[in-house]
Amino acid sequence: MSLRLNIIVAACENQGIGINGELPWRLREEMKYFSRMTKTTKSSEKQNAVMMGRKTWESIPDKFRPLPGRLNLVISSRAKDPGPEFMGSTVCASFKEAIDEVHTRTEVESVWAIGGSSIYKMALESEHLHRIYLTRILKDFECDTFLPSFDPKKFQIVTDPIVPNEIQQEGDITYKYEIYEKLK
């Protein structure tokens, strides 16, 4: 099977994606979108995998870990002795090991890289990268973690019928969903 790797990320105007291990904004509808996108499969027999670094895993509140309805892959140098805090996830020592793990799983339809910055960087460089689902937050926030830059010339902007095209508004924050598909 050819592996389809997608990135899903929300970034503000300075490309910031986080501060102090948390999201700099609270957007309920955007979180529902994240959940829907990473859970939706074409086949009812399959599920998706979410791939994240240890800090992203730790940033998810305990009551939401592991993210339900998805295979949770955590990339951590502690893979050999992960400990109980990783309960419900599959811990891999490297990005490559996580990709190899997905290749052994017939039940996985697609893989979503969900953070942090170093995981996004590896996903952007991966031969398996298919699409970037970017929520562009049209506001600046103070951040200490950033989305690695990518060359937009290597992608085309596409639409997806399940992704809204219009500008979204929650409270005083506007944002829009963009989908970049890697050119063959």
Q: Look at the chain and count its residues.
A: 184
- Looking at this protein, which amino acid is placed at residue 111? V
Helix/strand/coil (H/E/C) assignment for every residue in 1-44: CCCCEEEEEEECCCCEEEECCECCCCCHHHHHHHHHHHHCCCCC
Judge if pTM exceeds 0.85: yes
Which pLDDT value is given to residue 184? 87
Which pLDDT value is given to residue 79? 67
**Domain boundary assignment for the chain:** 5-182
- Rg, Å, the chain Cα set: 16
Q: pLDDT of 70-98, one tens digit each?
A: 999 999 987 677 778 888 999 999 999 99
Q: Is the pLDDT of residue 1 over 70?
A: no
Q: Which CATH architecture is the domain 5-182 placed in?
A: 3-Layer(aba) Sandwich (3.40)
Which pLDDT value is given to residue 83? 75
Tell me the pLDDT of the chain averaged across its residues. 94
Which pLDDT value is given to residue 92? 95
Q: Does the active-site annotation cover 5? A: no
- Backbone dihedral angles phi then psi of residue 134, each to the nearest 5 degrees: -105, 125
Q: Does the active-site annotation cover 23? A: yes
Q: pLDDT of 153-174, one tens digit each?
A: 999 999 999 999 999 999 999 9
Catalytic residue among 23, 67, 129, 147: 23
Which pLDDT value is given to residue 77? 84
Question: Tokens 């970049």 identify what position?
Answer: 180
- 75, 95 in Cβ contact below 8 A? yes
Catalytic residue among 30, 67, 101, 147: 30
